[in-house]
Amino acid sequence: MTFLAVTLLLPQAIGSTTLPSLTSYLSKLEPSFVSYVLSFFVIASWWSLHHRLFSCFVRYDSTVVRLNSFFLLMISVTPFLVSVLFAYSPGGFGPGSTSSRLAVALYSAVQAVGGADLLLIWRHSTRRRRLIAPSLPEDWVRTTEENQLVGVGVFAASAGIAFVSPLAAELVWILMIFGPGRRLWRRPRPRKGVASPRPKD
C-alpha cells in the first residue's frame, strides 16, 4: 500500500520555462490522485479480510505460502488496473466503448481471481482443521467461507455486466467496498454463548 504512491505521476512541469497555474497543475494530477485513493481502499479491504483469515491460523505449510504469493500478485497489479479504469472510464450506463468494457471486465476478473485465491487458502487451511485453531467455531468457519463465495461471485458477475454496461459493473464492485456489500469483509457474528475468535498478537 505504501508503494501505491508511485502511481501519483506529476504533470510534466519540471524543466519547463513557464510553470502552469496551481489550479491547472492540480487538475492534471486529479486522475492519478483519485486512482491512488480508490486503489488504497480496495487493497485495504482485501488486507482486512486477509488479516482476519490469517489471524485464525496456528501454523502454515508450503501450499499456503504459494497461494498467498499469488494473492499478493493480484494485489500488486491493482494500482495499474485502477489507472487503466480511469483512462478508459465509461461515460454513462450504456455499452460504452470496447476499451471501457474491457478495462472494467479486466479489473473485475482480477478481483474475482484474488478472492478465489483467498477462498482456496481458507478451504485448504480449514479442511480437517489442519492449520487453524481447534477452538474456532465451525459455524464461524462456514460463514466465513460463504461470505467469500458471495464476494467472488459478485466480482465475477460484474465482469460479465461490464460488457453490457461498464458503469453499472463499476457500481457493483464499488458497493462491495463502500456500500452494503462491505459486510462481506467483516468478521461473522458469533452464536450466542460463543466468543468471537480474536486475532493473535
Q: How many CB atoms are located within 10 Å of the residue 147 CB?
A: 18
Residue 1 lies in a domain: no
Residue 17 lies in a domain: no
Residue 200 lies in a domain: no
Domain range for 112 is 30-185
Q: How many domains does the chain have?
A: 1
Residue 193 lies in a domain: no
Residue 21 lies in a domain: no
Residue 23 lies in a domain: no
Task: State the pTM of this model.
Answer: 0.75
Tell me which of 23-32, 112-121, 125-134, 142-151 is least confident.
Answer: 23-32
Nine-digit cell at 123?
478451504
167-199 confidence digits (pLDDT tens): 888 788 777 777 656 666 566 655 554 445 554
31-85 confidence digits (pLDDT tens): 566 667 777 787 888 888 898 899 889 998 999 999 999 999 998 888 788 778 7
